[in-house]
Amino acid sequence: MFLAASGVALVISLATLILLGGESGSARAEANAVTFPPIEEFEHYTTVERGASTEHMMTSREALAALKAGTSVPVGTHMVLVDYREGKVFRYFVSQKIGDGADEWAFQWFHPDRSIKVDENTARCFSCHRSRADSQFMFTLPEAQAFGS
Ligand code: HEC
């Protein structure tokens, strides 16, 4: 009887641990609001060669128009870095505007099959991109603004 009860208690505390683990990892991939973008509809506005990577930067036409006009991109906007290695998609880096505030951006790493890389600490993406808070969290804002002109 006692053993059974402590077994239950153990199961409950394990479940609590797992739940708490999920909570404290809210900056991590699995608890994140970023959705996979509709890249088939996006414009490829610039390419960056970085070592073995060929990075195609993509976003929506609406976002490009807003960037050109110097206004905030619409809430929900995705920025995409498609990382190609040896001609094949190696991964997708995605940022998404998730609210009206200037720093309301979230980040995600997707595998080629578009599943989330669950062990990625996306807080790292955010902290580096935050240095571009005055440029809508983008490193390639000038290229996006120059696209098509
Ligand atoms: C140490 C700094 C740093 C970190 C960490 C970082 N990035 Fe970036 N990111 C850059 C730079 C610099 C560029 C411009 C392209 C280049 O130079 O390769 C860029 C470009 C991008 C772009 C294209 C739009 C833009 O901002 O120009 C996206 C989308 C992106 N990163 C998403 C991510 C995601 C998702 C992560 C985490 C999984 C991440 N980044 C981590 C520096 C960083």
Q: Is the pLDDT of residue 93 over 70?
A: yes
Q: Is the pLDDT of residue 111 over 90?
A: yes
pLDDT for the residue numbered 149 = 77
Cα dihedral sign for 118, 77, 105, 80? positive
Q: Tell me the Cα Rg of the chain.
A: 20
* Residue 58 token pair: 């993509």
The rounded distance, in Å, linking the Cα atoms of 19 and 28 is: 14
- Per-residue pLDDT tens over the stretch 4-53: 555 444 444 444 333 333 333 444 555 578 999 999 999 999 999 999 99
Interval between CA 130 and ligand 1 midpoint (Å): 10
Interval between CA 137 and ligand 1 midpoint (Å): 9
Return the residue matching tokens 């989330």.
116
102 confidence band (pLDDT: 50, 70, 90): confident
Interval between CA 15 and ligand 1 midpoint (Å): 36
Among 139, 140, 145, which is best to mutate for testing ligand 1, by the most ligand atoms less than 8 A from CB?
139
Q: Give the contacts of 141 (CB within 8 A, at least 6 positions apart).
A: 67, 132, 135
Q: Give the contacts of 37 (CB within 8 A, at least 6 positions apart).
A: 58, 78, 80, 94, 96
